[in-house]
Amino acid sequence: MYLPPHFEETDPSQVYELIDTFPLAILVAQTEQGLVANHIPLMLQGKHELLGHLALNNDLHQLLPSGKEILAIFRGEDAYISPNWYPTKPIHHRHVPTWNYQVVHVYGTIHYQDDDKSKLAVVGKLTKKMEERTHGENAWRMADAPKDYLNAMLANIIAFRIEITRILGKSKVSQNRETVDLENVAKVLAERGSAHMAERMNQISETREEE
Amino acid sequence: MYLPPHFEETDPSQVYELIDTFPLAILVAQTEQGLVANHIPLMLQGKHELLGHLALNNDLHQLLPSGKEILAIFRGEDAYISPNWYPTKPIHHRHVPTWNYQVVHVYGTIHYQDDDKSKLAVVGKLTKKMEERTHGENAWRMADAPKDYLNAMLANIIAFRIEITRILGKSKVSQNRETVDLENVAKVLAERGSAHMAERMNQISETREEE
């Protein structure tokens, strides 16, 4: 990834937060059949592993053996940025359009886990996290489903963990613009539904004011 | 990509609409330095080409020569789907959580264009499209920026087109559930901010009713 220093997300907590908030990773691998990409929700286990599971019918686990490199891309909100949103535009007009986004690229090696305990653990953890976030005390629990149905579902998946070797974080969020422009773009993006990205932009703006 | 027939997006207009609505592609390539991914807005030119541009400092155009394979992934909205949202849940409880999403994977060969005319054409087309969508009659125009500034910006990019060889469309949007479940999940997702995906789900539901 093209990652100039001014767009690098150097705050590790921001990197982990993005993975947690936008869990549907784009899993990419180079295989015998060329580039293959799948969209799979993942979650961090500690700071050195990602956990996930595939449909057994997904041939990724046949095309890409355990131990091979995989890239997991997490992406937050993104938005077209118009020069019209920069308060300095009418002053000097030295602006062109761009695109803002926040992404995390995690490189690692994949390791499949075909035993029932691992499979149950990975779907259990993901379910617990997502249900608590979505429904709080009214969370759906795996025990709510009939045992035979759950067992049939588990028989149709394969679990995996990714041992992380490298993480790249990029927050391309107008921090290369004048502060008044950064702040107004954050305001516009919040109004247009990119609240998560706008919050990061406001944090950056506040840090500047403290300096 | 794992693409069972029931999740394949077989309506070409839906595939092109997704590319148009969510233009920030994840461009993935296998290079000498391994898997490389970049986030670049693209637009269709006709049905057989995608157009885009890179920062000249982005080493993709050095790592991946003209003529090589590239994968452009477009992704719409995505959402965790709770079993609690299926009206049939209290009846038979035969549900587990899943994730809904709409994606288009475009495979092709990349061809760089370093001349001023091509570069001006690609940024001009993208600007026109995005500004008209964002500001209508008040669209920012490239002529609004000083000529020397615009020329300096153009000198810092390289244009490219992708000759499309294959397109995969996947709409994993609860169409494998009972219609009452599909409809209620669409309602919940619309309320939770995934209006685009909900609309596709409602279209599928309406088609069923007509049959």
Q: Which pLDDT score is estimated for A13?
A: 96
Residue B210 has pLDDT above 90, yes or no: no
Q: Which pLDDT score is estimated for B55?
A: 97
Residue B90 in any domain: the answer is: no
Residues from chain B contacting residue A54 (CB–CB below 8 Å): 2
Taking residues A74-96, what's their average pLDDT?
96
Residue B4 has pLDDT above 80, yes or no: yes
Domain that holds residue A72: 5-177
Choose among B39, B59, B150: nearest Cβ to A101. B39
CA distance B138 to A2: 32
Buried b (16+ CB within 10 A) or exposed e, A69-95: bbbbbbbbbbbbbbbbbbeebeeeebb
Residue B185 in any domain: the answer is: no
Residue B8 has pLDDT above 90, yes or no: yes
CA distance A14 to A21: 10
Residue A188 in any domain: the answer is: no
Residue B151 in any domain: the answer is: yes
Question: pLDDT, tens digit, for every residue of A112-154?
Answer: 999 999 999 999 999 999 999 999 999 999 999 999 999 999 9
Residues from chain B contacting residue A23 (CB–CB below 8 Å): 80
Q: Which pLDDT score is estimated for B60?
A: 97
- How many domains does the structure of chain A reveal? 1
Average pLDDT over chain A, rounded to whole?
Answer: 96
Is residue B121 within 8 Å of B115, Cβ to Cβ?
no
Taking residues B60-82, what's their average pLDDT?
98
pTM of the model: 0.97
Residue B182 in any domain: the answer is: no
Question: In chain A, whose CA is at the least distance from the CA of B107?
Answer: A35
Distance from CA of A202 to the nearest CA of B (A): 22
CA distance A32 to A34: 6
Residue A211 has pLDDT above 80, yes or no: no
Q: Which pLDDT score is estimated for A208?
A: 87
Residue A107 has pLDDT above 90, yes or no: yes
Using pLDDT thresholds of 50, 70 and 90, give the confidence band for residue B140.
very high
**CB contact (8 A) between residue A97 and residue B127:** yes
Distance from CA of B94 to the nearest CA of A (A): 6
Half-sphere exposure of A5 (CA within 13 A, CB side): 0
Residue A207 in any domain: the answer is: no
Residue A50 in any domain: the answer is: yes
**CB contact (8 A) between residue B39 and residue A93:** no
Helix (H, G, I), strand (E, B) or coil at A89: helix
Q: Which pLDDT score is estimated for A102?
A: 98
Beta strands in A23-65 (DSSP E): 24-31, 34-41, 43-45, 49-55
Residues from chain A contacting residue B171 (CB–CB below 8 Å): none
Task: Give, in order, the Cα–Cα distances in Å from A197 to each of A57, A106, A193, A202, B115.
Answer: 36, 20, 9, 9, 35
Question: pLDDT, tens digit, for every residue of A6-40?
Answer: 999 989 999 999 999 999 999 999 999 999 999 99
Residue A193 in any domain: the answer is: no
Q: Which pLDDT score is estimated for B211?
A: 67
Give the distance, in angstroms, between the CA of residue B95 and the centroid of all CA atoms in the same chain.
30
**CB contact (8 A) between residue B134 and residue A82:** yes
User: Residue A85's domain is classified under what CATH number?
Assistant: 2.30.110.10
Taking residues B160-176, what's their average pLDDT?
97
